[in-house]
Amino acid sequence: MHKLFEFIRSVYVAVLFIVLELVAVSYYARSTYYTEARLLTRSNQLIGGVHTLFAGVRHYFSLGHENRLLAERLARLEERLAQYEEASTDERLAGYLQDIGESKYRFSTACVVANTVNRAENLITLDRGRIDSIVPEMGVLSPDGAMVGYVVDCSDRYAVAMSVLNTSFRASGRIVGSDYYGSIYWDGRDQNVVTLGDVSKYADPQPGQEVVTTGFSQYFPADVLIGWVESAELNETRTAYTVRVRLAAEISRLNEVILVENRDLYEIRDLQQSDQIEQHTRPE
């Protein structure tokens, strides 16, 4: 006990100084709305800088894994290019290419500076924002092209995306090799598994089948890989399947992502919300 008192006496001046400093800063921060806003801005910049620093360190130690993914993706693209080159003399292909204009989708990349996987509503912070032409509702893909989430808000230099591991996330998916589709969502339990719900009882999903996007959600192009069927069971009325899907993207290991923008999204949405459409959907 004597040693404890001696230790307290040796450090109490420093502790008292720190406490008084914290009280002074707290009082100063609440003195005016302007001061509070300035301090909040500075603290957000500091937190962003810390996140960026740790993201850089994490990114450095994952370069080997990312290089393997990029090499595999490059090999697949080279194979597709070879197929196109072999078919370039085909008159039907040449006629088709004449009708191709600007792509419906615009792609860009970003680094992950913050990411959570252990909450019910997980978010991913990216180091690109409005000055980099990033906008809300852009789809987010993993480096090998699997579904990750979509952007929900942007600042000038950063963007926040809703992860597929978010109980509010919704997208549409279908089982490859069939026309049956359903709604993709996460039940908040396993960070490697999502659910494909309301799939027709005639679908007969089998373990190992690929599940891809339909394109109906407008955030993602069609046929983006979501994952693989792990198991399936009929509901109580035996009218639809609930399918457990093992994710292709390793959300907890993300360092780089691909962003994809549907150039037609706002035109389609404006049309769907037009006065003419509302006249035909208004209840009698």
Domains of the chain plus CATH, in order, are 106-262 (2.40.10.340)
Per-residue confidence (pLDDT) for residue 96, from 0 to 100: 46
Tokens of 106: 């615009």
CA–centroid distance for 42 within its chain: 27
Confidence of residue 92 (pLDDT cuts 50, 70, 90): very low
CB–CB of 140/258 below 8 Å? yes
* Residue that the structure tokens 């990029």 belong to: 70
Q: Which amino acid is at 146?
A: A
- Residues 239-249 have a mean pLDDT of 94
State pLDDT tens for residues 267-277: 777 777 776 66
Tell me the C-alpha to C-alpha distance, in Å, between residue 191 and each of 185, 200, 201, 238, 247.
12, 25, 26, 28, 9
- Residues 252-274 have a mean pLDDT of 82
* 3-state SS, residue 185: strand
CB–CB of 55/111 below 8 Å? yes
- Residues 234-255 have a mean pLDDT of 91
Tokens of 265: 């999204």
pTM score, whole prediction: 0.67
